[in-house]
Structure 1
Amino acid sequence: MRKDMMEMINADPDLKRFLHEQPIWYRKLARNPNDFQAFQIAALHYHRKTIPHRVEKFSNGVYMAQMMMSMFQAMNNNLS
């Protein structure tokens, strides 16, 4: 694999971890260095860091907060 590509991968811990967990990408990038953008996108999907994943995570957090608030309100109404 090209030295400049390895430097870019080593600079990003997520890319480095993805490369170690998905070793098929070593061969793909060594044969075709132009696939680096596809490698980055695959790493984002693998680590669930795409925009839809982040929106889903935020929505789940808001939903949990709403459930906690309704539970506290119900407990407060029962104590009164």
Structure 2
Amino acid sequence: MRPEIIRLLNENQEFRLFVRQNPQWYRKLSRDPSALQSLEKEANYFYGRTFPQRVERMQSNLGLAMMMMEMLKMGQDTVAQTQETFSS
């Protein structure tokens, strides 16, 4: 493998870990050093950094927050009803 590719992998720990988990990239980079852009795209997809993945994660978190808000609201309603029952 070319020294500049080895240096890049040593400088960027995420790329290095990605290549270790996907050994076919050793061969690809050794044969075609210009495949670094493809490596970056694949690594971003692997680590969930693409725009659609971020949007999906945000929607999931928002849905979870909305569900928690509904649960808290239902809990407050239940407490209010219980207090009304005891005060009557």
Same fold (TM over 0.5): yes
Paired letter, 1:22 = N
Q: Is there any run of 5+ residues in structure 2 with no aligned partner, and where?
A: 81-88
Paired letter, 2:75 = M
CA distance in 1, matches of 2:12, 2:58: 24
Q: Give the percent of matched residue pairs that are identical in Structure 1 and Structure 2.
A: 30
Q: Deviations over 1:15-63 (max 9, x none)?
A: 1110000000000100010111001111111111111111111111111
Aligned length: 80
Could you say which structure has the larger radius of gyration? 2
Q: Which residue of 2 aligns with 1:44?
A: 44
Q: Which residue of 2 aligns with 1:56?
A: 56
Please give the TM-score of this superposition, normalised by the length of structure 1.
0.93
Please give the TM-score of this superposition, normalised by the length of structure 2.
0.85
Shift in Å at residue 5 of structure 1?
A: 1.3
| RMSD, aligned α-carbons | 0.9
Q: Which residue of 2 aligns with 1:70?
A: 70
